[in-house]
Each structure stands twice: as C-alpha cells, then as structure tokens.
Amino acid sequence: MSKRTVPADRCDCEVIHEDVVNSVRAKMPKEETLYDLAELFKVFGDSTRIRILWALDEAEMCVCDIAYLLNMTQSAISHQLRVLKQAKLVRNRKEGKVVYYSLDDEHVKMIFDQGLVHINEE
C-alpha cells in the first residue's frame, strides 16, 4: 500500500513503508535521551555490578565486605563502585579508613523487578 522507493541515505535498501517510518520518527524521543538510557542499562549489564547493587539493596557495606561477599579482589570492586557512583546509582560515606557504600536510588529495585518479570516469562 504505502510502497514508495526512495534513494536510501545510508541503508542499502529501498524504503518499504515510508508513512510508517515518518510517523515513528515523529514520536521518537531525542537522540540524546535514548543514548543516556542505553548508557544507564549498560551499567546494569554486568553481573558483578548487578550483584553489588543487589547486595547494597540489602544493606550498606564497605568495599572490603563486598569483595569478600563476591569473592573478588578489592581492586575490582573498587573500580566497579566507581562506575556505579558515576551513574549515580550508589553513594558513599567515609568513616575513618572505611568507606561505606549504599544505594543512591530507590528505583534500582524496581528496574531489577521489571527485568525479572521478563526473565521469568516463558
């Protein structure tokens, strides 16, 4: 129906449904928003970070606690905590030598839960 051949800019094929494409394009969010969204999910896309977040959802912990819990080196944990902090997913407070980390966003659990809904679906 809506067939129409267009010199494709970059895609190496003809457009089939240009009306649909235009309608979708009009409704798409800003490029930047989608980029930020991908960046956020990228942070969730690592099992070490997921485990850290899940642990911190249970209790505030220091770096060493987390390393021990996950059986990983302090350095590896520290690097990942930095990523989580930059993403504003965790915060920390210092008490002497010890640095305690905790969740900085109560939505983390909700994002997890939505993910679990998908996983547990057949």
Partner DNA sequence: ATTACATATGAATGATTGTTCATATGTTTA
Partner DNA sequence: TAAACATATGAACAATCATTCATATGTAAT
Residues that bind DNA (CB under 7 A): 12-14, 16, 42, 45-46, 48-49, 62-64, 72-76, 78-83, 92, 94, 96-100
CB of 88 to DNA, least distance (A): 15
CB of 93 to a second copy, least distance (A): 14
Among 33, 79, 82, 93, binds a second copy (CB under 8 A): 33
Helix, strand, coil fractions of the chain, as percent rounded to 5: 55, 10, 30
The DSSP secondary structure of 38-65, one letter per residue, reads HHHHHHHSSHHHHHHHHHHHH--EEHHH
Contacts with a second copy, 36-55, as mask; x by CB under 8 A: xxxxxxxxxxxx-xxx--xx
CB contact at 8 A, 91 and 104: yes
Compute the distance between CA of residue 114 and CA of residue 109 in angstroms, rounded to an integer: 9
Position 4 contacts a second copy (CB under 8 A) = no
CB of 23 to a second copy, least distance (A): 7
